């Protein structure tokens, strides 16, 4: 018997895929997932790759839904009546938000507003998880970042995420909703699109290995980020939302790795010396690119007994092996 109904917006992204797997492990869950684009067989192939079986898929419903249209999301909410809501909506990438600032900002903020209005009409839900981003922070400058650190968004994506984050806090007060904002630091997987940094590095390295490219150009070797695994982040989302909380949690590994660390690991796996193939062009960096963004996840570890368990090396290896299968 189904006891829990979860709504996942943005289900076809990597976070949505791993969260779907995480929830379907629990036989009490039924899921409805929305996507602004038509959901193709590729989505189900990826779930199969994650070992989601046919029986589990019977508890998954997917809907093409334009969250920019208030009638669309309201109809989904009224029909499905979810207990748990996970809002994972976002543009394809930060760079996409810079290229198309108005469209990207509207995609996040309008969708969030329409989702909230749909939930106001239907009061059956128990708790709401808002996917916030470490992009809202400025440079850590040698310090790790926690729930009390100041925000200083530098991109349209970060500004839009901060809008949703702050409005979530207001909704807690106004309606006494159980809303938790997970401030997610970089989280990677084999399903990252090719326009993201780690996949660019892996794809180019494989091309060099196969004689299809001669070099890899990056903006810097020194930028440091907190790189986690999406599977771990999905388990944090589920744990947080099921506890019906009204708070914020930084979700990350607490460990910083440089771009050079990633490049070295990828090329070493492919039996190449990266120093023979790398060029640095600082002009391709974003303006005011933060040098270092590392999480301090002490709060979630203390209160939720959660921590990242997947090794950085294993995260990168998963992506390389997946790409090698696809080549």
Question: 151: helix, coil or strand?
Answer: strand
121 pLDDT band, cuts 50/70/90, is confident
Q: Say if strands 179-184 and 187-188 run parallel, antiparallel, or are unpaired.
A: unpaired
Domains belonging to the chain, first-starting first, are: 4-189+229-254+295-309 (3.40.50.720)
Query: What span, in angstroms and rounded, lies between the C-alpha atoms of 23 and 238?
Result: 7
Query: Shortest CA distance to 232 belongs to which of 254, 256, 199?
Result: 254
Q: Would the pLDDT of 326 be above 80?
A: no
Query: What span, in angstroms and rounded, lies between the C-alpha atoms of 290 and 305?
Result: 30
Beta strands in 60-195 (DSSP E): 60-64, 84-87, 127-133, 179-184, 187-188
Model pLDDT for residues 124-157, shown as the tens digit of each residue: 789 999 999 999 998 888 899 999 999 999 888 8
Query: What span, in angstroms and rounded, lies between the C-alpha atoms of 244 and 31?
Result: 18
The four Cα atoms 188, 158, 65, 88 give a dihedral, to 10 degrees, of 40
Model pLDDT for residues 200-213, shown as the tens digit of each residue: 999 999 999 999 99
Model pLDDT for residues 8-51, shown as the tens digit of each residue: 999 999 999 999 999 999 999 999 999 988 899 999 999 999 99
The CB density around residue 263, as the number of other CB atoms within 10 Å, is 22
The residue count for the chain: 327
Q: Please report the DSSP string for 161-173 in residue order.
A: HHHHHHHHHHHHH
Q: Which pTM does this prediction carry?
A: 0.95
Q: What is the overall mean pLDDT for the chain?
A: 93
Model pLDDT for residues 31-42, shown as the tens digit of each residue: 999 998 889 999
């Amino acid at each position: 018997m189904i006891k829990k109904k979860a709504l996942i917006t943005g289900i076809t992204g990597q976070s949505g895929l791993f969260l779907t797997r995480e929830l379907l492990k629990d036989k009490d869950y039924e899921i409805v997932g929305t996507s602004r684009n038509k959901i193709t067989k590729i989505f189900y192939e990826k779930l199969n790759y994650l070992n989601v079986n046919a029986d589990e898929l019977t508890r998954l419903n997917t809907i093409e839904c334009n969250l920019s249209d208030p009638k669309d999301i309201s109809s989904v909410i009224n029909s499905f009546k979810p207990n748990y809501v996970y809002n994972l909506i976002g543009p394809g990438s930060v760079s996409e938000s810079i290229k198309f600032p108005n469209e990207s900002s509207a995609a996040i903020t309008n969708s969030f507003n329409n989702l909230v209005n749909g939930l106001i009409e239907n009061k059956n839900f128990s708790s709401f998880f808002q996917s916030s981003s470490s992009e809202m922070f400025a440079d850590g400058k040698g310090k790790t970042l926690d729930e009390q650190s100041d925000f200083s968004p530098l991109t349209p994506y970060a500004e839009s995420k901060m809008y949703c984050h702050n409005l979530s806090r207001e909704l807690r007060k106004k309606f006494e909703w159980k809303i938790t904002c997970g401030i997610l630091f970089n989280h990677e997987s084999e399903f990252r699109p090719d326009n993201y940094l780690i996949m660019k590095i892996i794809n180019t390295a494989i091309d060099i290995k196969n004689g299809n490219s001669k070099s890899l150009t990056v903006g810097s070797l020194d930028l440091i980020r907190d790189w986690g695994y999406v599977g771990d982040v999905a388990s944090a989302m589920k744990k947080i939302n099921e506890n019906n909380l009204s708070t914020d949690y930084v979700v990350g590994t607490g460990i910083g790795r440089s771009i050079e660390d990633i490049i070295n690991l990828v090329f070493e796996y492919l039996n190449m010396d990266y120093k023979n193939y790398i060029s640095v062009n600082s002009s391709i960096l974003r303006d005011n690119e933060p040098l270092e963004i590392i999480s301090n996840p002490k709060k979630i570890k203390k209160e939720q007994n959660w921590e990242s368990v997947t090794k950085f090396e294993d995260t990168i290896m998963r992506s390389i092996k997946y790409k090698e299968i696809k080549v």
